[in-house]
């Protein structure tokens, strides 16, 4: 063991301070290469493999035919279902504590399309929270229903009941 120490001292004396600093920097560079550069190269290889997989998946997707865009008008209910939908509106009104004593209904074709528009005018007397809940539920349940106009009237400011007139449109696909 003492022989190794003696040889190291001889090498240190021959190299001098500048040589020892250079030898230390060389050792630091080797350690940096082993711990940092190798791990970065491994990460790079992993990312390149992932990129190749993504390119293959993209090429497969391009090779597949594109699906035809969905026509939203094809999802509309037929004209014969309009009475059921109006019945569903009345059922929602009863579920929210509203009474629909009378209403006006009219049907008009939409020019240039195969749609029919059912216009509903519904007078309602109800508290505001119940009316709001009814409209929210109806518009959520029936995506082909639109709220065209809402007129609110209250006789006295302290009254909890509103007199409302709802103008709704229900769009259906006309039977061919």
Tokens of 35: 């711990």
Q: What is the pLDDT of residue 136?
A: 93
Q: Which residues contact 88 (CB under 8 A, 6 or more apart)?
A: 141, 142
Q: Which residues, listed in sequence order, are joined to residue 80 by a DSSP beta bridge? A: none
Model-level pTM greater than 0.75? no
- Of 2-11, 141-150, 153-162, give the lowest mean pLDDT range: 2-11
Residue 148 has pLDDT above 90, yes or no: yes
CA–centroid distance for 143 within its chain: 18
Q: Where are the alpha helices (DSSP H) in the chain?
A: 2-32, 38-63, 82-95, 128-141
pLDDT at 72 over 70: no
Token pair in block for residue 112: 């240039």
pLDDT above 60 (res 108): yes
């Amino acid at each position: 063991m003492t022989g190794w120490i003696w040889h190291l001292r001889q090498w240190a004396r021959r190299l001098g301070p500048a040589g020892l600093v250079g030898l230390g920097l060389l050792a630091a560079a080797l350690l940096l290469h082993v711990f940092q550069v190798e791990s970065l190269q491994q990460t790079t290889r992993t990312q390149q493999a992932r990129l190749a997989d993504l390119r293959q998946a993209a090429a497969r997707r391009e090779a597949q035919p594109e699906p035809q865009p969905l026509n939203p008008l094809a999802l509309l209910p037929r004209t014969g279902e309009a009475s059921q939908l109006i019945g569903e509106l009345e059922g929602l009104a009863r579920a929210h504590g509203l009474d629909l004593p009378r209403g006006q209904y009219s049907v008009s074709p939409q020019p240039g399309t195969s749609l029919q528009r059912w216009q509903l005018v519904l007078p309602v007397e109800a508290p505001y929270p119940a009316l709001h809940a009814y409209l929210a539920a109806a518009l959520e349940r029936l995506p082909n229903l639109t709220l065209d106009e809402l007129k609110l009237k209250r006789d006295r400011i302290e009254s909890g009941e509103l007199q409302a007139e709802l103008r709704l449109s229900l769009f259906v696909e006309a039977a061919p």
